Structures are given as structure tokens and as C-alpha cells.
A and B are shown apart, each in its own frame.
Chain A
Amino acid sequence: MEIKFWRKLRIVSQILFLIFFLWLFFQTRVDAPEPIREWVNLFFRTDPLIALAAMSAGHILLWSLWPAALLLVVSLFFGKFFCGWICPLGTLLDGTHRLFRSWLKRLPFFNAPILNHQPMRSLRVGILIVLLISALFGFQALIFLDPLTLLFRALTLFFDPFLFDQSQSFFTWLYHNASPFINTIGDALYEGLKSSFLPMERPIRLLGALALGMLLFIFLLELVARRFWCRFLCPLGALLGCVARYTILKRMPGKSGCAGCQGCAPNCRMSAFDEKGKWLSETCNLCMDCTENCPKGRVSFRVKKNLFLETVPVDVSKRFFLASLLTGVAVPLLAKTTGLGKVPTSEDSQGGLLRPPGALDGNDFWDRCIRCGECMKVCPTSALQPAWIEAGYAGVWSPRLIPRLGYCEYNCNACGEVCPTGAIAHLPIEEKQKVIIGKASFDKNRCIPYATGESCMVCEEHCPVPSKAIHYKEVEIQTPAGKLTTLRQPYVKRGRCIGCGICEKVCPLEGESAIRVHPISASTKQG
């Protein structure tokens, strides 16, 4: 087959997988049809970095992550095709490069030669080692560097609310300003968007600017070198590169630099050639550009005749490797010593934060959570938000439940359904409804029936526990005007409360709610 055909196929593949990734993102919702819901987290389950990190931190084999094993095996044979053909972040980077290509030529620092030398070329392997060793020693937070989670978090925390805001502004303007005829079309369009891409209500998502900023920074790095992130920072690329070294594919010619032509290496987007010009299978992402660019048409990729795995020397110095290992051990130690949050924590505590129902206990949750953001995207009530450093560095980007922003819907277990690693267990609804997220309690200084003698009890109205966890006493009080009247004053039946937080959400007071949900300690069940 014409070798140039493969390049075109690669471009089609990149676009299709990007669309697929985005489509799965938009399908991460509670009203997605049954069979689709099971597969929305497919990309995360296929990610070998996530699989390794989750399993080493959690000290557990996760069978649901078998697609990741499959990808590793296929990459062993066919090299780093994931980076060049599948990765949605890679596709977006390639796309932006095309847009800014003409400007880049004017930048003096673009693609500086120093980038081709050590230690720059080993940098991403170093990051990989630090990430995995930290995870092994109980600090998973660095997994936020996984490219798929970076992209998904930016989509969930920034683009989802952004798209909603912009469409709502537009359609509201249209509603009040356009003719009825246009509005009939507009209404249908708005309704269609809301049942497919847009959420029903404006999602509240914290840390949107930070998530966007991190993504934009990666795009900004494209001004320094093409695919800068992929070449120097991406730990997933580094991992795939480790197995891609043994690929059965061989590039013909095996070196850059035929007589009179130095075309391949300078034009390679991944700079997949070492100082001597030898083709590096652990860096090459099989984009097939060189096959098209070669003026003599000499470049092609073939299957090796000898398929036995040969020892391929590692391109990382021993010193560098050791330094990475030690850093990987040091990071968890440092983080746990210095990164205490606002409230004192113990080994099994949640750091003062409420967790999604079905979340693992204590530090196990932060070990297993790979910070993908799936649970936050699917949560229908905007209850799940990313934590920052409130509970220390270990919990960064992991989900926490903030009832005042959103309550946990009684009949919903979507978060457990989409979690790729089981950091949030997929509990059947009946079991999930019995999980104690926390316990609610009243601030009687502010609660209206106690504070001002007026009737309220919106909290009791919304309590979803069938036997109700909020009850009331009928008391006779004197109003400020001096009149004697009967008033219903609510109180929490603590034993029944599951901490869903709808009471905290609906309390009509301005500012903090008069009824708040607090976490309870798993070991003593005290809160």
C-alpha cells in the first residue's frame, strides 16, 4: 500500500478519536442511554499510566482496567502510535501548530538545538518515575499530569460552564429581541442542545480558571518547540515510550541524514532522532510526516524480519535515573509533612471534606482517585467539586461534596458508575442510599424558626429519607409583637441522616446555611 496513505489515515484517525473523546465527554451525563453510560470512561481505562498509578498506590489489581493492558501490549509491538494517532491532546496540539505555523518562524527561540540534548530528552522519563514512585509510596496527586485527565478537567471545569453561559446568553438575547418566527427555530435549537450537549441547569464548577490555565500553558509551550509537552513532559508518553522501544516496526532508513540531505530530523515534530541521527522508536509517534516530506520518497516503515525482542539500551543515565527515584520517594514524605490542610487530619480521616457516596475510606480514596473529573462532570446537581489544598496536598483535584453548591441526588449513583478505578465504588442505588456522607446539624442562632420565630422548615420539606431525618416540635412562642402563636421548630434525627446535603442547599438564608453537613470519622462514626 502507498506509504503516503498511512499519513492521511493518521490524520483521519486523530480527528475521529478527538471527536470520539469529546462525544464521550458530552455523554457523561445521567440521562445518557444505558449502554453508553458504561463506556464513557473508556479513555481513562485505556490509559496505562492511570492503571499503573492507581494499582501501585492502591496496592490492588484493577481488572476493569484491562484496556490499558491491551494498549501496552499493542504499543510493545507497534510503537507509540497512541501519541500520534489517538491522543486527543496530541491532536489539539497538532491542530494549533498548523494555525500558528507562520508566526513560529519568527520566534528566535523556537526549537532551539539544546532541546535535543540531555537532560531535556530524559525529562519526561524523570517525571514518569517521580510520579509512579510517589504513587507507590502513597502520594497519588501527581497523576494530575496525565494528559487525558488534564484535558478532561479543563473541559469539565471550564468549558462546560462556559458553553452553558454563552448559549444561555445568546438564546436569552434571542428570546427577547428576535421575531417569533426566529424564536421558534431558536427554541427548538436550545431545547435540542440542552438534551444533548448542554446541561439542563448552569453547572457550578470550581477551579475552572486553574484547569484552563494548565491546559493553555501546554499550548503556550508550543511556541518553544513543536509538541513540547509530548517530547519533554508527558509521563504517559514516557511510559508508552518505554515499551515502544521494542517495537517490531522499523523505519527505513534507520537514520536521519542521507547524503546531501538533513531533512528528516529538523522537520520531525517529535525530534525522534538522537544526536547521531539514529531513529528513536521510543519517541517517534508514527505520524508518517517524513514519508511524505522526503524529496526522494525513501522513507517507509516496515515490520522487522527478526521479531525477537532485542535489548535496546535505555537513553537515560544512571545518575538521572537514581535522582528521579529519590525524588519520587522524597515527594510523598515532603508532602505529608508540610502539606497539612486547614483542619487537623489523621491517617483515616477525610481531611474535613465530604466525599462522594461510595468513596473509599481514609487515604485509600486519595490513593485510588486519578483526578480525571468524570464524577464531577456526571454529577447532575453540581455537588462534586475539585478540592484544592484544603485537606493537604494529597487531595488536590480529587472530588469533594459541597452541599451549599449542590446536594447528592437521592436516586442517583452516577459518580460510582463512571469512576474508572473504583475510588468511588459503583454501589447499587439501595446501598448508596444508606451510605453516610456526613451528618447534618442546625445552627440555631440563624435558623429562622429559632432565631426570629417565623415559620420555615424548607429543609424538612426536602429531606429525601423516606422516614425523614428532620422532624419538628410544635412549640408555643411569643412573636416580637407579643402575640402567642404555635410554631414548628425542626430538629435532626441524627440516626437517620445520610448527609446528602439537600437541606443545606435549600435553606433560604443568605450566605451560609443554618443547617450544615459535617463529615464523620470512619473509625469512630463520630462527627
Chain B
Amino acid sequence: MKRRDFLKQTLFLSLVAGLTPSLWKGINLTAFAEELPSLQKPLLSVAKGTDYQALVNMVLQPLGGMKTFVKAGNKVVIKPNIGWDRSPEQAANTNPLIVKGLVQAALEAGAAQVLIFDRTCNNAKMCYKNSGIQAIVESLKDPRAQCVFMDDRKYINTAIPDGQDLKEWGFYRDALEADCYINVPIAKNHGITKLTLGLKNIMGVIDGKRGLLHQNIAEKLADLNSVLRPKLTVIDATRILLRNGPQGGNLEDVEVMNTVIASTDPVAADAYATTLFGMKPSDLETTVAAYKKGLGEMDLDKVKIVTV
């Protein structure tokens, strides 16, 4: 009698065990996993449109709006690309309207201070002026928002604990000490790294002879990015520079894409932006090196992409 019962029980349990996988397929496990933060896919938001300033708020919406990143009383740093003495149409610097949109959003979220700066390659005063960024920040007439020139006294020699190529480098104090650091590059062609996107934009907040970083640059950028990790990366792809980057000059090299990308994952942002140029994320050594260092996800299948 006991053996029959035992066999009955085993058979029944095996049946249940056999059937449950099919039952499991019915249950939406992905939705379940989303509840658990550790199993969450990084979120990438893409917005397209011609009202560039409005695009900023549109692209931040799926991420929870600027208030997810900026709390009342925060010191915010918005780091656009102001590196070159070029006009907005030439797509060498971040579009001033995108910068304006971000500054306004940060102010509305209650920021106590919003600093905008970049360590330019050409003469700083000319870059700040001709990029249109200095004028547009000043037009807000809000004393909390300041487009400032970088102060050479404010670099701090910072150790890079996981540095494979670089062990230490000088970082700008205001960038390190920001409560919320927002990286706003423009997507462009680049002779050395093929493209320059979010990860490379960190070049604008570091000290020293930057020319020395261009040997084995992908690894060095990964090291630098492991120190200063932005809360938010917004890639300006309203106009992209297809050739002769990173400063271009020829309007024929510019393609109007009317797109803005935003993500908390800098590697995912770069990976997606790469596709706008008809390339694969793995084509960029910078992206691969950053991914290998654990700075983010480069496989777009593992990223949740929301198009607004």
C-alpha cells in the first residue's frame, strides 16, 4: 500500500513538474523582473522633432523627467561640447537650444546652481561666443545659471582605482563635486576614435596635455569615465557631423537628424548613437572598452529603447 501511494505521489508530482514550464510561459516574467531593480534593463529614450528645446523635455519624460535627476538645492553641472570655434549649423558643438532646454529643466526642478562649461580646443572666448551657448545661457537672465570659463586653479589630481592605462589624472573640481552631472555631447565623426559621443566628452573636464591621451585612447577614456560617472547622458543628434570631424566646417558634412537621445547608461547612449551613422556599437573601441570595464551595456537588445 505504501509503495502504491509513493508511486502515485511521484507520478503526480512529476506531472505537475512537467506542466509548470508551460504554465510559466504564460506568466509574464519580464514584467515581474522589471519590478526587481537588479534585473532591470537600462532605459534609453529617443525623441525626434524640430522644436529642439521641446525635445529635451520630451526625451526626459520616459526617464521620469528632470526631477528624477535634480533635487531641490542641487548643484548641477551641464557639460556640453563647446570645444570648437564653430557655429551651431556646423555641428561641431552641442546645439545651444538643447543646452537651454536642459538648463531650464534643471532650474525648474529646483537646482540652486547650474554651471555650464567646457575646456575648449580653440580660443575659449571665441568658442563660447560662436557656439551660441554663452549667449543662450545669458539670455535666461537667471543668476543661478552660469556659463563660465574654466579656472585653471580648480583641477584636482584624482586617483583612478581601476585604471588599467591611467592611474591618476586631473579632473575639474566643479564636475567632481556636482550633485548632478549631466553630460551633453554632440554626435560627430572623429578621425581617431571614428565617432565622438558621450564617453569621449569627458575630455572637456580634465587637465593636462590631452594629446598624450590619444595613444590607446579607448582604454584611457574608459579609465577616465570610471571616475566621473554622469547621472544623465543626453546625446545631441539634432545635427550630426558625418565627415571631417570633430570640427568640420563644411555644411555638406552635416546631416540634420532632429534626434535627441537620453539615458542613465552612458555606454548604451553611445551604442545607440553609433547606429545613426550606420555603424554597429562594436565598431567603436571606446564603447567596447567602456563596456568591458562595466560602465554600461552596449548590446542594444539588452537595452529598453523608448521612442517618443
Contact = CB atoms under 8 A, between A and B. Distances in A.
Interface of A: 30-31, 168, 171-172, 175-176, 187, 190-191, 194, 200-201, 380-381, 409-412, 448, 454-458, 460-462, 464-468, 472, 488, 506-508
Given A457-B192, A468-B244, A508-B209, A412 B126 contact: yes
Contacts of A448: 215
B124 A454 contact: no
Nearest to A381: B123
A377 to B, nearest CB: 15
B252 to A, nearest CB: 9
Given A456-B214, A467-B244, A411 B85 contact: yes
Q: 6 shortest A-B CB distances, which residue pairs?
A: A466-B249, A508-B211, A466-B250, A458-B211, A454-B215, A460-B191
Contacts of A410: 85, 122
A506 B247 CA distance: 15
Contact of B214 (A175, A200, A457, A472): A457
Given A31-B125, A191-B148, A410-B85, 16 more contacts: A30-B126, A172-B153, A200-B124, A200-B149, A380-B125, A410-B122, A412-B123, A457-B192, A457-B214, A461-B246, A464-B122, A466-B253, A488-B191, A488-B192, A508-B209, A508-B211
B192 A460 contact: yes
A168 B217 CA distance: 32
Interface in B210-226: 211-212, 214-217
B191 to A, nearest CB: 5
B248 interface: yes
Residue in B148, B149, B153 whose Cβ sees the most chain A Cβ within 10 Å: B153
A238 to B, nearest CB: 41
The bracket for how many chain B residues form the interface is: 20 to 34
Nearest to A190: B151
A175 B153 contact: yes
27 contacts: A30-B125, A30-B126, A171-B153, A187-B151, A194-B149, A200-B124, A200-B125, A200-B149, A201-B124, A380-B126, A381-B123, A409-B122, A409-B126, A412-B126, A454-B216, A455-B214, A455-B215, A456-B192, A460-B191, A461-B214, A461-B246, A462-B121, A466-B250, A466-B253, A467-B244, A468-B191, A508-B211
A34 B205 CA distance: 32
B64 to A, nearest CB: 34
B215 A456 contact: yes
B53 interface: no
Given A411-B85, A466-B250, A457 B191 contact: yes
A175 B192 CA distance: 37
B136 to A, nearest CB: 18
Contacts of A380: 123, 125-126
B41 interface: no
A106 B173 CA distance: 58
B190 interface: yes
A508 B214 contact: yes
A460 B154 CA distance: 30
B130 interface: yes
Contact of A409 (B85, B216, B217): B85
Chain A CB within 10 A, most for which of B129, B211, B217:
B211
Nearest to B209: A508
Contacts of B125: 30-31, 200, 380
Contacts of A461: 190-192, 214, 246-247
B123 A464 contact: no
B4 to A, nearest CB: 69
